[in-house]
Amino acid sequence: MKSTKRNSIRWELEQLAQKSNQPANHKNKPPRKYQKLGLNWKDVVIFSMAMFYTTLYHVNAHAQSTQPVNFDDISSGMMMSFNKTTGEYHSLQLIQTDYDVDVFGLLATIKLKQTFLNPQDHWITEGVYAFPMADKSAVYQMKMTIGDRVIEAEIHEKKQAEQIYHQAKSEGLTATMVKQYRPNIFTTDIANIGPNEVISVEITYQMNLRYDQLFYELRLPMAIKARYTPADVAPNLPSTQGVNDLNYRRIDINLDAGFALDEIRSLHHNIEIAQDFGKHQINLTDQQLYDTQDFVLRWFPKTAQTPKAAYFSEIKDGFEYSLLMVLPPNTTEKSSKPRNMTFIMDTSGSMHGQALDQSKDALLFALSEMDDSTYFNVIDFDSTAKVLFPASRKASPDNISLALDFVDGFSSDGGTNMAPALQIAMQRENIKSGYLNQIIFMTDGSVGNESMIFDQIAQDIADARLFTIAIGPAPNNYFMSKAAMFGKGTYTHIASLDQVNDSMSHLFAQLARPALTDVAVAWNTSGVIQSPSVIPDLYMDQPLVITSKVPVSQAKAAPSFVVSGLIGENNQQKSWSEQITLNHDGQTTGIARLWARNQVEEMTDDLMLGGDYTVLKEEIIELALKHRLITEFTAMVAVDRNPDASRLARARAAAQANAAAHQAPFPQGSLGWRWNLLFGMLLLSGALMLQRRV
């Protein structure tokens, strides 16, 4: 009672002092809100400071935490564990990545093995493994090793594979499913992973090698840049978190080119080369890689050894499948038509730094190569597009000077919104009748709406030609090569600044010479199904590469065919043909899969361009199931049907515990340490105020 009385007297004295100190014109001012609560200004300051610093700490801690990303941000193969309570994916440790590559002629077989560790002390009911792939890869085998169990995958239609996988997961069985997310990105779902278990995933795929500018190229993707998707296009992707990649890599390549080599060159990484007769063993010398550059290996035939034709075949199920490469003759005559050149320059945020410098150098080189008979224009784009001239102009010194000033002002920012720039380049006002209308498109291809861009190019390209130039060490090769195909042009990759002059010189030589048109292959037998069914125009140093299928009963004689085409322009066109006879091979494995993969690609292109969805889908599924290929509509699934009994019991117990935790909206500790800190500081503030009043 005494303390209450003292408090009352003290409060009355404070109120009296406040009233006596107030100016006369404030005597009738209503009391402040905190005064109505019985608080003085010191109490309010203490409480406000506590709330301010608590909020500041919470915001700072949140900003420093790992932000969710989507599958378009994948920079390497990664395994992510799924948390049912938060709906997010969390990374496991990628402790080793192994590439074992066998190259025979034009064919490469790659075994990609990535080993992950679950460092958690609890079971993971589901994980996701995502990995970048080279475009045109035929993925046909996958196996998962968990402990001493090796699980082989089977091919099914995607819906059926998903049903098998989810049923196995619900029963506590270890299961895995491999799906195609994009043509160059694949994902694997894994169910029921034990604490501290080491998991290995081995993917086997095949692809034919690229030949261009007198060299062969093998590319192993190590990174995929984040991709821009327009606001009106929903990516429909799960949220994920990054992988703890220890960056350990091993790359071993057995190279049997089939001819003498002048040079073997790695563009970005240190390698060791050992030769055994006509074969070469190439090994990556760095054990840890901290860059995001693709591994690119090129080998150059000796000049006299450059083959004019190469033929590989495989006999399977009553058919002979073949892979054919032919080098048409190069013409030294330049095109007689004047040119109208439009340069599209990507200055989005993904081009920041060296990529933008390379693009500027390439564009400056192009501007310096033009004469006053050439018309030109320059378009710069990021989130929006900006054009130098309303319509193309002559390459006069004054106009070139304006273009140089325009290029000097480029800076990297914004999104990779390609569509408006392509629309300007292909619109009627920018196309000149009677000219070679050539569009040179410089970008890293970091887009997520590829199919929309492909459809735009196919619909609007008309008589123009689109030539894509990839900038940087890890571009979106699938987009760049496919855009050039729809644009009836070529694809050039500039990986570093020291390649700008050579690459651009070669491209300008291609642009200055007429292409080989109306290319056709006439076989000496009937019933041949080849891919591509319609052969595109071929430019200087560009080979004809086709895969084919023919019944064995029709292929008893040595394979023989006539390759023909037209060289030149208008009334000066000359016909060219060459008959080629090669010996039966029949011993190479994997050609049938490559043929099927190319057929699927053609049908997928038809789908993007508005073909009959139902018919094409059924044809893709039938072909993929027969050749064990993962496609947009097929997937691989594997289930451990004979698990260890004790392990199965632990997996089911973990699944039940996770289900129970998921049903409880706020289990103990679910709000996290930040909430505990906030609650503690609120209690502290209350205690200080109580002490102050006492």
Give per-residue pLDDT as tens, 145-167: 887 878 889 999 999 999 999 99
pTM: 0.75
d(CA 17, CA 11): 10
pLDDT digits (tens, 9 = 90+) for 492-504: 887 776 777 778 8
Taking alpha carbons only, the member of 640, 596, 645, 601 closest to residue 622 is 596
Question: For residues 621, 622, 628 and 631, what is the CA-based torsion angle, rounded to 10 degrees?
Answer: -20
d(CA 250, CA 84): 34
Structure confidence at residue 162 (pLDDT): 95
Q: Across residues 670-689, what is the average pLDDT?
A: 56
- Give how far the C-alpha of residue 129 lies from the chain's centroid of Cα atoms, to the nearest Å: 15
Hey, where are the domains in the chain?
Answer: 2-64+686-693, 308-331+516-627, 339-512
Beta bridge partners of 219: 296
**pLDDT higher than 70, residue 54:** no
**pLDDT higher than 50, residue 26:** no
Q: Across residues 413-423, what is the average pLDDT?
A: 87
Structure confidence at residue 671 (pLDDT): 44
Amino acid at 349: G
Neighbours of 62 (CB within 10 A): 10
Per the omega criterion (within 30 degrees of 0), is the bond before 221 cis? no
Classified by CATH at the fold level, domain 308-331+516-627 comes out as Immunoglobulin-like (2.60.40)
Neighbours of 426 (CB within 10 A): 21
Q: Across residues 189-202, what is the average pLDDT?
A: 84
Structure confidence at residue 412 (pLDDT): 77
**Burial category of 640 from C-beta neighbours within 10 Å (exposed 0-12, middle 13-18, buried 19 and up):** buried
Backbone angles phi, psi at 306, to 5 degrees: -60, 115
Structure confidence at residue 13 (pLDDT): 44
Structure confidence at residue 370 (pLDDT): 85
Structure confidence at residue 76 (pLDDT): 54
Q: Which residue has the tokens 């996701």?
A: 128
Q: Compute the 3-state secondary structure of the chain and give helix, strand, coil in percent, each to the nearest 5.
A: 35, 35, 35
pLDDT digits (tens, 9 = 90+) for 373-390: 899 999 998 888 999 999
pLDDT digits (tens, 9 = 90+) for 577-594: 777 776 666 567 889 999
Backbone angles phi, psi at 202, to 5 degrees: -120, 120
* pLDDT above 70 as % of the chain: 73
Contacts of 459 (CB under 8 A, 6+ apart): none
Task: Quote the mean pLDDT of the chain.
Answer: 78
Classified by CATH at the fold level, domain 339-512 comes out as Rossmann fold (3.40.50)
The H or E element containing residue 272 is strand 271-276
Structure confidence at residue 681 (pLDDT): 62
DSSP string covering 354-377: HHHHHHHHHHHHHHHH--TT-EEE
d(CA 523, CA 313): 15
d(CA 211, CA 310): 12
d(CA 120, CA 244): 13
Q: How confident is the model at residue 5 (pLDDT cuts 50, 70, 90)?
A: very low
DSSP 90: E
Averaging pLDDT over each range in 245-254, 377-386, 461-470, 621-630, which range is the top one? 621-630
The Cβ-side half-sphere exposure at 179, using a 13 Å CA radius, reads: 16
Q: How confident is the model at residue 663 (pLDDT cuts 50, 70, 90)?
A: low
- Whether the Cβ atoms of residue 114 and residue 186 lie closer than 8 Å to each other: no
Q: Across residues 126-130, what is the average pLDDT?
A: 76
Structure tokens at 318: 């009553």
- Whether the Cβ atoms of residue 107 and residue 594 lie closer than 8 Å to each other: yes
**pLDDT higher than 80, residue 520:** yes
- Whether the Cβ atoms of residue 140 and residue 189 lie closer than 8 Å to each other: no
Q: Across residues 473-492, what is the average pLDDT?
A: 85
**pLDDT higher than 80, residue 474:** no
DSSP 533: S
Structure tokens at 485: 């195909």
Structure confidence at residue 631 (pLDDT): 94
pLDDT digits (tens, 9 = 90+) for 598-620: 999 999 999 888 889 999 999 99
The H or E element containing residue 130 is strand 124-132
- Whether the Cβ atoms of residue 85 and residue 661 lie closer than 8 Å to each other: yes
The Cβ-side half-sphere exposure at 527, using a 13 Å CA radius, reads: 11
**pLDDT higher than 80, residue 437:** yes
Is the Cα torsion angle 260, 263, 269, 274 positive or negative in sign? positive
Taking alpha carbons only, the member of 391, 381, 376, 386 closest to residue 430 is 391
Q: Across residues 551-576, what is the average pLDDT?
A: 71
List, edge to edge, every strand of the sheet that includes 544-551. Answer: 309-316, 319-326, 544-551, 529-531
Structure confidence at residue 297 (pLDDT): 94
**pLDDT higher than 90, residue 340:** yes
Contacts of 566 (CB under 8 A, 6+ apart): 516, 517, 518, 573, 574, 575, 576
Structure confidence at residue 61 (pLDDT): 45
- Whether the Cβ atoms of residue 565 and residue 516 lie closer than 8 Å to each other: yes
- Whether the Cβ atoms of residue 347 and residue 381 lie closer than 8 Å to each other: yes
Taking alpha carbons only, the member of 203, 150, 152, 164 closest to residue 180 is 203
- Whether the Cβ atoms of residue 90 and residue 83 lie closer than 8 Å to each other: yes
Taking alpha carbons only, the member of 273, 277, 137, 283 closest to residue 204 is 137
Taking alpha carbons only, the member of 492, 206, 478, 203 closest to residue 323 is 206
- Whether the Cβ atoms of residue 372 and residue 390 lie closer than 8 Å to each other: no
d(CA 492, CA 480): 9
Structure confidence at residue 377 (pLDDT): 94
DSSP 239: -
Contacts of 75 (CB under 8 A, 6+ apart): 223, 224, 225, 242, 292
DSSP 589: S
Taking alpha carbons only, the member of 626, 650, 624, 647 closest to residue 635 is 624
* H-state helical runs in 342-476: 354-369, 397-408, 419-426, 450-460
Q: Which residue has the tokens 């010189």?
A: 505
Contacts of 7 (CB under 8 A, 6+ apart): 693, 694
